[in-house]
């Protein structure tokens, strides 16, 4: 195998060793105690059923599957109707007119990020992101000889530290990647934070003589429990792109349908769009799946029931509060990122495991001293874990 892939495998094994250990331990615990006595908060796999419109869309697609080219090739950027629907959707969501011509359908947000990085990164370029962060970002940048440079967020609040980001920017910086609502913290960045970040990027772009892109990774945008403003990067910075998916909004994680939307105000937007269409093609995605796009055309106005996740969040908050565990209430996404009661969070994660609770150490997301819990699990699992959390705290 290549040296790059060999290094990536080693890094992945290092980051996932605790997850693998918990997975294996979880299986043993389930055999010993039964599924209902093991409280697995380790994986963010959306379990809420897709809206009824998705089922109706699949039935309609099946009825028409015998038509010529029903499941055939399409333009690499996606079906024109799908791109038009995405443009209308994003125009409402982002508060900026987004023509369908400025949106590319991709194989999920991950496919979109990889296609974008392939289009803009040169060997040695750096991508800055706030930490904690989704661990796959480092691999996505590394795929194209780029380097992820995490910059710690403000302690405990997880707000953007724009001064630290400014200090991290060099002539190698090609992009800043933000994820809001954030995995793993649930934080939503305010418009003031993004405006401050935009000012930093404008000054740095002028200094180094090339645009530094601002990428907003937004698969969790809909999961906003307190009706907070989720500002659009399009409104604060011209050299920006929004990348998202419908994995959470429509519970279509396995269908791999996402998009890259380029700010219409970006100078040279057409050139960038053509580049991403090309990389989407040559990376082997060719285009987002036909069935997924057809589902989206028919159901893009639908959403899963947000109240289900909101109730789970509130219940998890009560369980953690009763156990005496410190946390910042997540505004969005479906994770808690509590503070470990001991400096090395791995020790506490082991204590939780002894009480049949599966959690993920924060260092896997680039921040030690915290741990991640997902609440996209049944309410009964959250409620029944309460005594186990208390017991883990008592045994420190």
- Pair 107, 285: CB distance under 8 Å: yes
3-state secondary structure 128-153: EEEECCCCHHHHHHHCCCCEEEEEEC
- Reading the block at residue 66, the tokens are 């015998």
- Pair 323, 335: CB distance under 8 Å: no
Q: How does DSSP assign 203-219, residue by residue?
A: HHHHHHTSPPEEEEE-T
Q: How does DSSP assign 229-282, residue by residue?
A: ----GGGT-SSEEEEEESTTTSS-GGG--EEEEE-TTSTTHHHHHHHHHHHHHH
Q: For residue 287, what are the CA distances in angstroms to 12, 73, 74, 77, 111?
A: 27, 9, 8, 6, 10
Asked if the domains 3-50+305-394 and 52-299 are classified in one and the same CATH topology, the answer is: no
Hey, which CATH number is domain 3-50+305-394, 2.60.120.650, 3.90.1150.10, 2.60.40.740, 3.20.20.140? 3.90.1150.10
Distance (Å, whole) CA 169 – CA 201: 9
- Pair 132, 362: CB distance under 8 Å: yes
DSSP H helical segments within 34-107, as ranges? 52-63, 80-94
| pLDDT score at 24 | 74
The structure's pTM equals 0.94
CATH 3.40.640.10 fits 52-299, yes or no: yes
| pLDDT score at 14 | 63
- Reading the block at residue 151, the tokens are 């910059």
- Reading the block at residue 45, the tokens are 């796999």
- Pair 281, 137: CB distance under 8 Å: no
DSSP character at residue 183:
T
| Helix or strand (DSSP H, E) at 380 | helix 379-384
Parallel, antiparallel, or unpaired for β 126-131 and 147-152? parallel
Distance (Å, whole) CA 109 – CA 183: 14
| Contacting residues for 253 by C-beta, under 8 A, at least 6 apart | 45, 46, 247
- Pair 161, 141: CB distance under 8 Å: no
Q: For residue 320, what are the CA distances in angstroms to 311, 373, 388?
A: 14, 11, 11
Question: 3-state DSSP call for residue 297?
Answer: helix
- Reading the block at residue 299, the tokens are 């159901």
Per-residue pLDDT tens, the chain, 396 aa: give them.
777 777 777 776 666 556 666 667 778 888 888 888 999 998 888 999 999 999 999 999 999 989 988 888 999 999 999 999 999 999 999 999 999 999 999 999 999 999 999 999 999 999 999 999 998 999 999 999 999 999 999 988 999 999 999 999 999 999 999 999 999 999 999 999 999 999 999 999 999 999 999 999 999 999 999 999 999 999 999 999 999 999 999 999 999 999 999 999 999 999 999 999 999 999 999 999 999 999 999 999 999 999 999 999 999 999 999 999 999 999 999 999 999 999 999 999 999 999 999 999 999 999 999 999 999 999 999 999 999 999 999 998
- Pair 241, 263: CB distance under 8 Å: yes
Distance (Å, whole) CA 315 – CA 306: 14
Q: What is the domain partition of the chain in residue ranges? A: 3-50+305-394, 52-299
């Amino acid at each position: 195998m290549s040296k790059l892939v060999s290094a990536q495998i080693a890094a992945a094994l290092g980051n996932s060793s605790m997850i693998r250990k918990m997975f294996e331990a979880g299986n043993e615990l389930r055999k010993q105690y039964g599924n209902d006595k093991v409280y697995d908060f380790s994986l963010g796999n959306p379990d809420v059923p897709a809206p009824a419109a998705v089922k109706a869309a699949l039935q309609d697609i099946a009825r028409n599957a015998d038509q010529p080219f029903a499941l055939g090739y399409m333009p690499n950027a996606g079906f024109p109707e799908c791109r038009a629907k995405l443009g209308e959707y994003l125009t409402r969501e982002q508060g900026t007119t987004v023509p369908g011509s400025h949106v590319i359908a991709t194989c999920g947000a991950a496919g979109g990020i990889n296609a974008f990085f392939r289009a803009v990164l040169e060997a040695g370029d750096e991508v800055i992101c706030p930490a904690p962060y989704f661990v796959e970002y480092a691999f996505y940048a590394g795929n194209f000889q780029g380097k992820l440079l995490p910059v710690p967020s403000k302690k405990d609040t997880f707000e953007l530290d724009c001064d630290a980001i400014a200090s991290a920017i060099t002539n190698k910086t090609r992009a800043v990647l933000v994820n809001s609502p954030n995995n793993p913290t649930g934080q939503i960045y305010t418009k003031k934070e993004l405006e401050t970040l935009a000012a930093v990027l404008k000054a740095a772009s002028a200094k180094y003589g090339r645009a530094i892109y601002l990428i907003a990774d937004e698969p969790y945008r809909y999961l906003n429990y307190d009706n907070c403003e989720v500002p659009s990067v399009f409104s604060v910075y011209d050299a920006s792109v929004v990348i998202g998916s419908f994995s959470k909004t429509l519970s279509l994680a396995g269908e791999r349908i996402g998009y890259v939307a380029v700010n219409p105000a970006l100078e040279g937007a057409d050139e960038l769009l053509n580049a991403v269409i090309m990389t989407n093609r040559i990376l082997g995605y060719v285009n987002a799946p036909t069935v997924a796009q057809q589902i989206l055309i028919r159901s893009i106005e639908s959403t899963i029931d947000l109240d289900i996740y909101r109730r789970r969040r509130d219940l998890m908050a009560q369980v953690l509060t009763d156990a005496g565990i410190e946390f910042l209430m997540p505004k969005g996404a479906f994770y808690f990122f509590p503070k470990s009661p001991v400096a090395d969070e791995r020790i506490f994660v082991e204590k939780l495991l002894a009480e049949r609770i599966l959690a993920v150490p924060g260092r896997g997301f680039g921040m030690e001293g915290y741990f991640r819990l997902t609440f996209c699990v049944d309410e009964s699992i959250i409620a029944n874990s309460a005594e186990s959390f208390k017991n883990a705290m008592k045994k420190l």
